């Protein structure tokens, strides 16, 4: 298991400086923000070069597409699919594990057609209808789509790992996977250890934050049982920090990495 960090959390005034600092702290990967790359594709080469020069990999792309797959307007869904495909291509050039995908934030936007079908049932069908086209690109460019369940205050749609598993099983592609976020799991899963074990076959990426969404070790999440489950499913990919970082940042990052490495040694 490799520990990484989202680029936006890192101190430093340039991409190069951020990568240098990340390396110095002891991170093994950096998650980049999709929107920057989508809007400035000329930066892809720069990221690649800096990553090679500084000896630290780009682990993943976080979101970046400008619309959502479950919007009611055809035009907006088409825009979302176009951006997602472009980001998968960028991800492939950068050699990342995958692109994180949230099908929709907030409440349903499409109409409820009860008693025929409610909005949630229609959304499930709408997602399944669009996934094959996206998975085809993911397979071609060899960059996974990483479905991310979020807590109930951020989305009504995918809240638990087992809900994401449903789509992975139906589509059954090595390039449609799940990312498990400790912050969301801490709110939604009854037992993080059991949930990770059950979804194990599909988990390709992890986000890290403690119960209060600051650095692991600064809240009350039980990382030991979660990391143990990840070890038991033979998870070898990145666990990336997505959380607040209290000052002094570099010092607290190091403390948190030490805290996690000690757990990893123990399990």
Q: What are phi and psi of 176, to 5 degrees?
A: -115, 110
**Contact positions toward Mn ion, by CB under 5 A?**
181, 207, 242
Nearer to ligand LER, 57 or 207 (CB): 207
Residue 158 within binding range of ligand LER, rule CB under 6 A = no
Contact 87/34 with Cβ under 8 angstroms?
A: yes
84 binds, among Mn ion, ligand LER, none (CB under 5 to 8 A by kind): none
Residue 102 binding ligand LER, by CB under 6 A: yes
Among 50, 62, 88, 90, binds ligand LER (CB under 6 A): 62
C-beta nearest to ligand LER: residue: 63
Q: Give which of 79, 12, 22 is closest to 254, Cα–Cα.
A: 22
Q: Which of 83, 123, 148, 189 binds ligand LER (CB under 6 A)?
A: 148
Active-site position among 28, 54, 71, 242 = 242
Determine which residue in the list 7, 28, 83, 181 makes contact with ligand LER, applying CB under 6 A: 181
Query: Distance between CA 216 and CA 131 in Å, rounded?
Result: 33
Using DSSP's 3-state secondary structure scheme, residue 134 falls into: helix
Q: Which two tokens stand for residue 2?
A: 């490799």
Q: Is 148 annotated in the active site?
A: yes
**φ, ψ (nearest 5 deg) of residue 121:** -65, -40
Q: How far is the CB of 178 from ligand LER (least distance, A)?
A: 12
User: At 60, phi and psi to the nearest 5?
Assistant: -170, 165
Whose CA is closest to 205, among 154, 145, 142?
Answer: 145
Which positions are annotated as active-site residues?
A: 148, 242
Binding site for ligand LER (CB under 6 A): 62-63, 100, 102, 148, 150, 154, 181, 207, 242
């Amino acid at each position: 298991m490799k520990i990484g960090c989202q680029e936006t959390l890192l101190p430093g005034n340039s991409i190069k400086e951020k990568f240098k600092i990340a390396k110095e702290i002891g991170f093994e990967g950096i998650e980049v923000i999709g929107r920057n790359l989508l809007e400035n594709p000329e930066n892809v080469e720069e990221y690649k070069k800096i990553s090679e020069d500084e000896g630290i990999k780009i682990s993943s792309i976080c979101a970046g597409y400008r619309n959502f797959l479950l919007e009611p307007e055809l035009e907006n869904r088409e825009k979302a699919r176009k951006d997602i495909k472009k980001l998968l291509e960028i991800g492939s050039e950068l050699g990342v594990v995958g692109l994180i995908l949230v099908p929709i934030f907030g409440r349903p936007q499409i109409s409820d057609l009860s008693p025929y079908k409610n909005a949630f049932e229609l959304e499930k069908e709408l997602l399944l209808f669009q996934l094959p086209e996206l998975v085809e690109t993911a397979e071609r460019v060899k960059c996974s789509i990483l479905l991310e369940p979020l807590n109930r205050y951020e989305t009504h749609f995918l809240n638990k790992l087992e809900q994401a598993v449903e789509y992975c099983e139906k589509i059954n592609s090595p390039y449609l996977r799940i990312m498990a976020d400790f912050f969301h799991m801490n709110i939604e899963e009854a037992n993080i250890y059991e949930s990770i074990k059950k979804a194990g076959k599909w988990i390709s990426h992890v986000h890290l934050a403690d119960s209060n969404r600051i650095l692991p070790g600064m809240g009350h999440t039980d990382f030991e049982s979660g990391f143990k489950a990840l070890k038991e499913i033979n998870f070898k990919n990145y666990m990336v920090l997505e959380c607040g970082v209290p000052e002094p940042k570099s010092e607290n990052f190091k403390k948190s990495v030490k805290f996690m490495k000690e757990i990893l040694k123990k399990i």
